[in-house]
Structure 1
Amino acid sequence: MGRKRANRIYSMFHYEEEIKKSKCLMEGCNMFIKGNHAGNLLRHFNAQHELKYDEIVKLNNEDKENVPPSGSENAATVMQYCTELITVHGRPLSIVEDEAFEKILRLIPGLTQRDVNSINVKNVKENIKQQSHDVRFEITKQLNNKLVALKVDVASVKLRRFLGLNVQYISDGQIHLKNLSVLELHDRNTAQYLKENVVLILSRYGITPNQIFTITTDNGANMIRMVNELNDSAIQDSENEVEVTVGDESDDIVELQVQDEDSDMRKIIGIRCAAHCLQLAVKDACKDIEDFFEKCRKIVRKLRTPNMSLKLKEKNLPQAVLDTQTRWDSTADMLENLQKLKPFCMENMTMEENIWGQIDGYLDILLPCRILSKRLQTEQLTCGDFYLAWMRCHHQLSLVDDAFARQLESCMDERQAVLFVNEHFLAAIYLDPRVNFALNTNQATEARKFLTDIYMRIVKLKQHQGQSQPVPGTSETSEADTRASDSFEDYLRHQFAGNERINVQFTLENELIYKLVSFLQEPALPPNSNILEYWSLKKVSHPYLYNMAMVVLATPPTSVSVERLFSSLKFVLNNLRMRLNDSIIEDIMLIRNNNLYSK
């Protein structure tokens, strides 16, 4: 006995074995179709009975979707790869129902027809949902009772608005980046609405506002207010906590005699995106030469006319690129492109002779800033890494004898001054021996107080988790590190030569601050040292400082990775996937982004 035919089209025909033809049973038709192949029968209905054809196709799709997932190992493996095809590689869900795709599935050895039917949109969606749940569960375990650093941003894609949220932390001597959500927004981007959605996302991972250490955002007013409102929630949570007596009845907890009046007054620190700070600094410096940039734009617009564009194509030259005026790096790309077209322009256009020398000069001056901008795109970047890259750019600009270079230095100094009023930034610099000599006495004192408060928060979270923190013993020894000598390092030493070192003999309130002061006396590290490797070696000798470092060094100085989420979202939410709802988009993006971050 043959396999039962599931296609609903067979119920609309009577197959006559003697003549090998199928008779249509629709009233008034009675046409004969050669053979009994479902495809031929469906084509007849599509041509002659269109309404009934649509009904049959709909019923067939429902039947196929209702096929439960197969229990075979082969089918489970194929389902996994189909899910990866949809999430990681950005293919539309409809691909699993393409006829050609189904033919490919039939070529797989050991895959039955039932297995093939089980690979459908409904089951793939369910598998995506389950995988996203597994990803959330794994991240939840990793973030349990930890202070976390967040990156937040909002963007519009295909007329739909999304909130991107990443978390960054240090584990096993490496910075780890995880995507928590790309959530669609359905209301105005007010601070209150953004805060509610951030809290909602964090609640899925068991994270309370009291666990948030820093939030890196752009300088948008709504983002700044959102951080303040989250901070208010964290303070309220801390007031509801039972007061922790640190060190009582445990030799494993450090007993801190710290005046803690203000330690909980600021739970969450807002971090200005370093890439955005650079953008603003260069943009400010370029205001005085905006007229020159406008001249270059006029040239580019002429090069983009149909006739000029055709000539460029005939000569196999790149097309002229017009900048986005709000982005200085885009303007630099425009100048660089124009520089490549110099011979063509001189041959086909009338231009000022000195314009090419100006283009060369401005590109040379902007080069250190472009290198810095590229460095800031790095995922695993600490505040110390950023500051070193920032100062290296500053150093290279100082070597150029030009008024525009001086203007750039001045604008960078203004933005740098803003960074040094951020207590978290000071704390991160304090625990980075490559750059902590940049702190003056007042900044170092503020950083120590902040680090002490951070340690108290770590202790509270560890006690809540049932763990203990190490005691800062007096047997710790400082390690002498080899110092490299190069022009950049000499430049850094000269820049901050006037900053006073703290006298370690000063009367201190408690042992922890004493150890923090002692740490500041250790030899500086060469700028090219790996700060995470440095602290991995300090884990045993400086356990309490190590725990602080694992928090403050994990804070991202830029929100670049969140901006990349939205670039990735454009790949997922394309013209073939506009009907995806916000839930499946969030699941797809969660799997896709965390897969990319793990590589």
Structure 2
Amino acid sequence: MGRTKSELNNQIRSLFEYSMEENVSLCKICKTKLAGQHSTNLRRHIETKHKSFLNHLTPTVEKNEPPKKKIRISYEIDAESFESSLVKIITKDGQPLSQLDSEGFREIVNPIFKALNMNSINSHNVMELVNKRVVEMKKFIKKVVEKKLVSIKIDTATRFDRSILGINLQYLEFKNSTLEIVVKTLGMKTSPYPYTGEQIQDTVLDTLAEYDIRLEQIYCVTSDNGRNMLKAVEIVNQDFYEIFDCIDELPEILFTSSLHSMRCAVYSLQLCVTDIHKDKGIQNNIEDIRKVCELLRNEKYRNMLTECNRAVPPIDIAIRWNSTYVMVKQLLELRDFVEEEKIIVNWDWIQEYVSALEPIWAATMKLQVEQLPLCDLFKIWMELKLNFRESRNGGIKQIIYNSLLNRESLLLSNVTLLSAVYLDPRLNVLLTESQKSSAKANLKSTARQIFNLKQSKPMPTTQVFTEEVSQHCSFIKREPSSDHESSLLSAYLDQIAQETAATATEDDVSDLTKVFVEIDNFENLHRRLPLNEDIFSFYQNIRFISPELFELALVVLGAPATQASVERAFSSLNFVLSESRNNLNNKTVEDLLLVRLNT
């Protein structure tokens, strides 16, 4: 028979000296004094501080106690599914390869290996399964992009002295009766040295070759405004476009070939906010706020805020405006507390700052989280501009409005954006005749390129319309939307539509293809849609009537507005690369990331 609970409590008490005068128990091991001599308190102390002693005192099980009953568990699984689960452990779950060698893990999986008649999988051979998945994924992507015009987005990051170039593929796909933007990771290419423009260009081209993607299949490249990124695209297009030099900042690149460049929309908005923080008065106010937040983070105020379940305001990173906005906004939320503590703060200015930046903050978050077409980027931009135009009062909002105006011309010099806006019946009334002409020329060039990729021969210059097509292409007088939207942009669009509406005249289309006619007369063929209409739904509804235009829209509206998905992919580096997992070679890191990001 083993020891009883009473015997165990007596042995625990033997580890203490009890003083009746003080009513305390002194631990003989660490000399800690405990109130009273209740066995529960004494045992808790031993369990917490001296667990090794408790192991020797634990009551033994009675010798005649029957063993615990084991339960047989059965479930259905095949070798392929089991292999897939093991791959997920080291890719999607981010567990180290050594996890597959741990004793406890082997006790669980070895019976499964035996039942499935499989060879054991461990840290030494699991990468063979990962490589198999990589081959399967590349084969799938090759099939998807074959003879198609697609877009890519690129960005770089640094982790543990490794430079990583992320390359994403983006396209619009009609699936399950809906249109959706699809993003696939083509590669997370690592290098021990920072990427130059030439290295980015070489790596991107090599990566595209892995998927049998030819350069003429790339419609648009979206990146930030980094010099190395712009240099990479410049090298690829050196015979087809010219660069407009600017002293203060590198501008958008205007392409005359099929390969276009698009600056990340989030970056464009960030530049507008950067203009605000160049103002000396604003810098001084932010510095005063930063000092107040530092004061609130000391031990006294931190404890007071914690007791009240209030958030302690963070200290911003000066070069990141979004962190500054969060700091100022959280301080505003603590106004009652700060005023009670008699801390002097310029609340009027803080309110003005938060009110001015809140719309840009919301727009930035939307662009970073959602995959949006370029026309929706322009919609967001115009809504911001009109919002600030109506509410500007000479302060921060005036600075933002002026910055949006200055950068809008640069944004609208990009033919990729113009093409997407032109194909959007909600917004194309905003374009000038010159901008429409640029968009039409690019759309015709893109349509020809789509045709060449599919047919592998030049596009014919003539095509006879069928009766059905002729009926569809009958010209319609464009009318303003009857939808009573409340937004400033909607009212602005209705005003423009009323001022510019005119009856279209029918052209001689005998020498034009159907899609060229539809491009030239798009705004006459389709009335302006309300702003709350979904542009993807519009094209889903006309895909059978105008299949060529639908196919063109898949390319143009599939161009990325941001490279946010690449930035999010970099967060996966934390699962693959760490201080304890930094000895993986580049090929292993790239394959683990490729499987993780495409699963």
Q: Same fold (TM over 0.5)?
A: yes
> Which residue does 2:424 correspond to in 1?
432
- 1:470, 1:99 → 2: CA distance? 72
Aligned to 1:300: 293
Residues 304 and 320, structure 1, Cα contact 8 Å, conserved in 2? yes
Structure 1 residue 368: Cα displacement: 1.2
Alignment-derived partner of residue 11 in structure 2:
none
Tell me if the contact between 2:452 and 2:459 (Cα under 8 Å) persists in the aligned partners.
Answer: no
Confirm or deny: 8 A CA contact 1:472 1:544 kept in the other structure.
no
Farther-moved stretch of structure 1 (569-578 vs 82-91): 569-578
1:337 counterpart SS class: helix
Q: C-alpha separation between the residues in 1 aligned to 2:425 and 2:495? A: 16
**Cα 1:366/1:476, change in 2 over 3 Å:** farther
Is the CA contact 1:216–1:556 (under 8 Å) kept in the aligned structure 2? yes
Counterpart of 1:456, as a letter, is R
Q: Which residue number in structure 2 is paired with residue 487 of structure 1?
A: 486
Q: Given that residues 170 and 182 in structure 2 are in contact (C-alpha distance below 8 angstroms), is that contact kept between their aligned partners in structure 1?
A: yes
SS of 2:456's equivalent in the other structure is helix
Deviation at 1:113, TM superposition (A): 8.3
Q: Is the 8 A contact 2:444 2:519 kept in 1?
A: no
C-alpha distance in 2 between matches for 1:95 and 1:130: 20
Distance 1:215 1:429, change over 3 A: same
RMSD: 3.0
Paired residue secondary structure (1:119): coil
Q: Residue 386 of structure 1 is aligned with which of 377, 400, 408?
A: 377
Distance across 2 between alignment mates of 1:551 and 1:187: 35
Hey, what does 1:511 align to over in structure 2? 512
Equivalent runs, 1:583-594 vs 2, <5 Å: 583-594=587-598
Contact residue 87 and residue 589 of structure 1 kept, 8 A? yes
Distance 1:467 1:119, change over 3 A: farther
In the alignment of these two chains, the number of paired residues is 493
1:297 and 1:469 map into 2 onto residues whose CA distance is 65
Report % sequence identity.
Answer: 30
321, 336, 341: which is aligned to 1:343? 336
**What does residue range 19-38 of structure 1 map to in structure 2 within 5 Å?**
none
- 1:454 aligns with 446
Offset of residue 200 of structure 1: 0.8
Equivalent-residue separation in structure 1 for 2:517 and 2:87 (angstroms): 55
CA distance, structure 2, for counterparts of residue 446 and residue 234 of structure 1: 16
Select 2:579's aligned residue among 571, 575, 581.
575
Matched, 1:330 2:332: no
Distance 2:568 2:255 in 1: 34
Q: Return the letter of the residue paired with 2:234.
A: N
Q: Is the Cα contact below 8 Å between 2:163 and 2:194 reproduced in 1?
A: no
Moved more, 475-484 or 531-540: 475-484
Query: Which one is further off, 449-458 or 340-349?
Result: 340-349
- Cα 1:165–1:414, aligned 2, differ >3 Å: closer, same or farther? same
Name the structure 1 match of 2:157.
Answer: 155
2:534 to 518, 530, 537: 530
Return the match for 1:400 from 388, 391, 396.
Answer: 391
Q: Is the 8 A contact 1:472 1:542 kept in 2?
A: no
Partner in structure 2 of residue 562 of structure 1? 566
The answer on whether the counterparts of 1:234 and 1:267 sit within 8 Å (CA) in structure 2 is: no
Alpha-carbon distance in 2 for matches of 1:338, 1:544: 54
Q: Give deviations 1:319-366, integer Å, cap 9, x for gaps.
A: 2201122222211100121123323333445314xx123212221222
Q: Which amino acid aligns with 1:192?
A: E
Cα offset, 1:401, TM superposition: 4.6
1:508 deviation in Å? 7.0
State yes or no: 1:420 paired with 2:423. no
Q: In the alignment, what sits opposite 1:520? A: 523
Once residues 453 and 563 of structure 1 are traced to their aligned partners in structure 2, the CA distance between those partners, rounded to angstroms, is 31
Which AA in structure 2 matches 1:426?
L
CA contact (8 A) 1:462 1:469 kept: no
Q: 1:179 aligns with which of 181, 185, 194?
A: 185
Report the alpha carbon displacement of residue 507 of structure 1 after superposing the two structures with TM: 5.9
Q: 292, 305, 310: which is aligned to 1:317?
A: 310
Distance 1:444 1:398 in 2: 25
Matched, 1:193 2:184: no
Structure 2: gaps (5+ residues)? 1-75, 242-253
Cα distance in 2, alignment partners of residues 284 and 332 from structure 1: 14
Does 2:479 align with 1:475?
A: no
Identify if the C-alpha distance between structure 1 residues 535 and 290 changes in structure 2 by more than 3 Å, giving closer, same or farther: same
Residues 433-455 of structure 1: per-residue CA shift (max 9 Å, x gap) = 11111111111111111111111
Q: How far has the Cα of 1:496 moved from its partner?
A: 4.2
Deviates more, 1:558-567 or 1:320-329: 320-329
State the 1:75 CA deviation: 4.6
| Counterpart in the other structure of 1:144 | 146
Match of 2:124, SS state, is: helix
Query: Normalized against structure 2, the TM-score is what?
Result: 0.76
SS in structure 2 of the partner of residue 524 of structure 1:
coil
Aligned partners of 1:461 and 1:75: how far apart in 2? 40
Whether the 8 Å contact between 1:365 and 1:400 is mirrored in structure 2 is: no
1:266 corresponds in structure 2 to 257
Provide the rounded CA distance (Å) in 2 between the counterparts of 1:95 and 1:191.
39
Cα distance in structure 1, aligned partners of 2:561 and 2:462: 29
Kept in 2, the 8 Å contact 1:440–1:499? The answer is no
Q: CA 1:575 to 1:495, structure 2 compared with 1: closer, same or farther past 3 Å? A: farther
Return the letter of the residue paired with 1:545: L
SS of structure 2 residue aligned to 1:376? helix
- The 8 Å contact of residues 316 and 324 in structure 2, kept in 1 or not, is answered as yes
Checking the alignment, whether the CA contact within 8 Å between 2:427 and 2:493 is kept in structure 1 is: no
SS in 1 for 2:257: coil
In the alignment, what sits opposite 2:129?
127
Distance 1:465 1:452, change over 3 A: closer
Deviations 1:541-584 (A, max 9, x none): 22222222111111011111111111121232123321121111
After superposition, the C-alpha distances for 1:193-240 in whole angstroms (9 at most, x for unaligned) are: 1100001110000012221111001011111111121224889xxxxx
Distance 1:361 1:113, change over 3 A: same
Change in CA separation of 1:410 and 1:506 when aligned onto 2, cut-off 3 Å: farther
C-alpha distance in structure 1 between counterparts of 2:374 and 2:325, whole Å: 26
Please report how far the alpha carbon of residue 529 of structure 1 lies from its aligned counterpart in structure 2 after TM superposition. Answer: 1.3
2:99 is matched with 95
Displacement of 1:420:
0.7
Tell me the TM-score normalised to structure 1 length.
Answer: 0.76
2:166 is matched with 164
Shift of 1:111: 4.3
